[in-house]
Structure 1
Amino acid sequence: MILVTGATGLVGSHLLINLLQEAKEVKALYRNEKNIEALKNVFKNKDAIHLFEKIIWIKGDITDIPSLNNAFENVTHVYHCAALISFDPNDEELLRKTNIEGTANIVNCCIDFNVKKLCHVSSTAALGDPKETESIITEETEWNPEKLHGDYAISKYGAEIEVWRAHQEGLEIVIVNPGVIFGGGFPNQGSSILINKVKNGLLFYTKGKIGIIAVEDVVNCMTQLMNSSINGKKFCLVAENINLNDVLFIIAKGLKVKKPKFYAPKYLTSLAWRLDWFFTTITFKKRSFTRATAISSHSVDVYENTKIVNHLNYNFINMEEYLINLLLEYKQF
């Protein structure tokens, strides 16, 4: 029996389809019935609605240990996809509670219930920081605590520490660190926010690099790693490293809207995050552009995917073609 946390999110929902297509018995953790209904659209778009009724839904919360007891009964493998994604500094406490404490609860339950193997979904944000003379980030790049990191990155790094602790206590684990994940079914979450900004007339762009990947590649790598004898390793999942402006231009072309027109140099993004802080402070709205975000928007660091390619002999989806096809779905919204 397999347990999937974060089953109603982008990665979790596509993972459910993948597992059910392999005729696996799957329990799916959820917090809100409305999220289950929204999930049906993902299954419909993948012509997999006939598999939806095979899911064993378990109501629970990764921050509520008693609610996890029923979820872990008879479970042998766990895919931990649940996490809070926020770049608002005001969410620092909630990020730590969900991503660090919640992960600690999951790995402790894995140990208590004798789970055979855990796959933890982390992020490239939790990878290390290259030295001044370096520009390539791998799974072995060391985390520099003296460098500025956003609260989300810190929380995902802390979550990994909990997973490694469980591994030292005997739990078999694999960790995946995906870049920016694109996929269908969630038009108002995750990378879709970037698509919506372009759709609504984004004016500015930067030339920093980002690592991107299709959600289908993420879940395929996850299941292959879990089905293998690989244990105690982490893998950077990035199909392509691409300039942010090129992604924005591809999105604009696919949506047939105007592409961002003005380049925003460092001094302008530095001003932008300060203005964002000021206006969100007086309006009590969530931050959308922070100092850490401004810095990362100009980063030219490259994420290396050699490790996953070598271990699985994996070929990633061409991202430009994938994005163009994905954008056909977003035109409907």
Structure 2
Amino acid sequence: MNNSLQHILVTGASGLLGSYVVKQLVAQNKTVKALYRSHIPAFDGADKVQWVKGDILDIVALEEAMTGVQEVYHCAAIVSFDPKEKQQLHITNVEGTANVVNACLNTGVQKLLHVSSVAALGRIRVNEPVTEKMKWTPETSNSEYGKSKYLAEMEVWRGVGEGLRAVVVNPTIILGVADWNNSSSAIFKSVYNEFPWYTDGVTGFVDAADVAKAMIMLMESDISGERFIVSGENTTYQHLFNLIANAFGKKQPHKKVTPFIAAVVWRLEKFKSFFTGSKPLVTKETAVTAQAKVYFDNSKLLRFLPAFQYTGLPDTVTAICKGFRKMYNLP
């Protein structure tokens, strides 16, 4: 379906995943427009991209950006578990996605690749792996973020019903090199600074490069109207933290966070946030998630894309730590 003459738009291009998608498309000599809000990321090949400053909440600018575009990778979203950001979560993730879908329909885009999240599947499950067949419910999700991503998916499926070809990916926790003060990249900063606490909760982790690769393969396929969990490996947070600590040559976390300690911490953080106005480092939602043991079934993607392979977690961590050393001039 795809070739080098296809015009492609990537929303959220300055974010963690969006920047990986753009880099891979450029490496394949694709003609790429990239929507960004505040800053253009620096990487080899960035000068080959047509950077468009804009916002998915600006309907007119969005349709202008899609003029002449055949494929859209919708990566723009807010990831937050702070109760204070509930309204902004829904505006950006739900209304923003509705705008993207409508603009695709209005401008004749051939295919949309929408980045959702496993949070949209209702990731808190007991004694059963999470699959693409599962749906978000208040009982299986502890976050407004998950609800917003579920509702955003509903906008995509509406677009499919109106004739848009689209695929949805549901990544687990994405690991990659980006600003480590934000997103999941903050895990690496925390371990580098020898934060002593760990949890034995289990979840899925995936290399950002793998998610981008899977997205491009799905876009270039004839697959439409499907959703795919993208997860490299289910493991404990403790195991991941230890891999990162070893790669950085740092001390491994050695204090286990019990449910009681987690409950105390999120309440203290909420109390501190109330007086300082700063974002809480831990919320009730993240405290519960970090304790949960959740396993994700990644077999559907491998069935649909038999040529696709995941990078092993040790290799992912080693490469990312090397990337952070270079980015921040770390010893």
TM-score normalised according to structure 1 size: 0.92
CA distances 1:179-203 after superposition (whole Å, capped 9, x unpaired): 1111124333222211111122212
- Between stretches 18-27 and 111-120, larger displacement belongs to 18-27
Among 23, 31, 37, the alignment partner of 1:31 is: 37
Asked if residue 189 in structure 1 is aligned to residue 189 in structure 2, the reply is no
Among 227, 230, 239, the alignment partner of 2:232 is: 239
1:219–1:124 Cα change, 3 Å: same
Q: Separation in 2 of the partners of 1:209 and 1:129?
A: 11
- Unaligned runs of 5+ residues in structure 1 are 44-48
* Pairwise CA distance, 1:274: 1.0
Q: Separation in 1 of the partners of 2:20 and 2:46?
A: 12
Among 75, 82, 86, the alignment partner of 2:80 is: 86
* Pairwise CA distance, 1:156: 1.1
* Aligned amino acid, residue 285 of structure 1: S
CA distances 1:72-109 after superposition (whole Å, capped 9, x unpaired): 11111100001111121111111111111100100000
- Does the 8 A contact of 2:192 with 2:250 survive in 1? yes
1:131–1:219 Cα change, 3 Å: closer
- Does the 8 A contact of 1:128 with 1:140 survive in 2? no
- Does the 8 A contact of 1:89 with 1:287 survive in 2? no
- Does the 8 A contact of 1:135 with 1:300 survive in 2? no
Q: Separation in 2 of the partners of 1:197 and 1:53?
A: 32
* Aligned amino acid, residue 85 of structure 2: D
Partner of 2:242 in structure 1? 249
Count of matched residue positions in the alignment of Structure 1 and Structure 2: 320
User: C-alpha root-mean-square deviation of aligned residues, in Å?
Assistant: 1.5
CA distances 1:120-149 after superposition (whole Å, capped 9, x unpaired): 0111111135664x3200111232223452
- Between stretches 14-23 and 265-274, larger displacement belongs to 14-23
Partner of 2:47 in structure 1? 53
* Pairwise CA distance, 1:331: 3.1
Partner of 1:46 in structure 2? none
Partner of 2:144 in structure 1? 151
- Between stretches 218-227 and 322-331, larger displacement belongs to 322-331
* Aligned amino acid, residue 9 of structure 1: G
* Aligned amino acid, residue 315 of structure 2: E
- Does the 8 A contact of 1:136 with 1:304 survive in 2? yes
Asked if residue 18 in structure 1 is aligned to residue 11 in structure 2, the reply is no
Partner of 2:48: helix, strand, or coil?
Answer: coil
- Does the 8 A contact of 2:11 with 2:34 survive in 1? yes
- Does the 8 A contact of 1:130 with 1:136 survive in 2? no
CA distances 1:153-207 after superposition (whole Å, capped 9, x unpaired): 1111111111111111111110001111111243332222111111222121110
Asked if residue 64 in structure 1 is aligned to residue 58 in structure 2, the reply is yes
Partner of 1:302: helix, strand, or coil?
Answer: coil
Question: What is the identity percentage for the equivalent residue pairs of Structure 1 and Structure 2?
Answer: 38
* Aligned amino acid, residue 282 of structure 1: F
Asked if residue 226 in structure 1 is aligned to residue 226 in structure 2, the reply is no
Partner of 2:260 in structure 1? 267
- Does the 8 A contact of 1:119 with 1:175 survive in 2? yes
Partner of 1:200 in structure 2? 193
CA distances 1:211-253 after superposition (whole Å, capped 9, x unpaired): 1111110011001001001010000000000101111111111
Q: Separation in 2 of the partners of 1:17 and 1:296?
A: 31
Partner of 2:291: helix, strand, or coil?
Answer: coil
TM-score normalised according to structure 2 size: 0.93
- Does the 8 A contact of 1:78 with 1:118 survive in 2? yes
* Pairwise CA distance, 1:23: 2.0
Asked if residue 164 in structure 1 is aligned to residue 137 in structure 2, the reply is no
Q: How does 1:101-112 map to 2 (within 5 A)?
A: 101-112=95-106
CA distances 1:42-84 after superposition (whole Å, capped 9, x unpaired): x2xxxxx2x3222112221101112212201111110000111
- Does the 8 A contact of 1:119 with 1:176 survive in 2? yes
Asked if residue 125 in structure 1 is aligned to residue 116 in structure 2, the reply is no
- Does the 8 A contact of 2:101 with 2:155 survive in 1? yes
Q: Separation in 1 of the partners of 2:315 and 2:154?
A: 36
1:148–1:25 Cα change, 3 Å: closer
Asked if residue 297 in structure 1 is aligned to residue 303 in structure 2, the reply is no
Partner of 2:325 in structure 1? 331
Q: Separation in 2 of the partners of 1:108 and 1:287?
A: 35
Partner of 1:191: helix, strand, or coil?
Answer: helix
Q: Separation in 2 of the partners of 1:129 and 1:328?
A: 31
* Aligned amino acid, residue 172 of structure 1: R
* Aligned amino acid, residue 67 of structure 2: E
* Pairwise CA distance, 1:290: 1.2
Among 298, 302, 316, the alignment partner of 1:322 is: 316
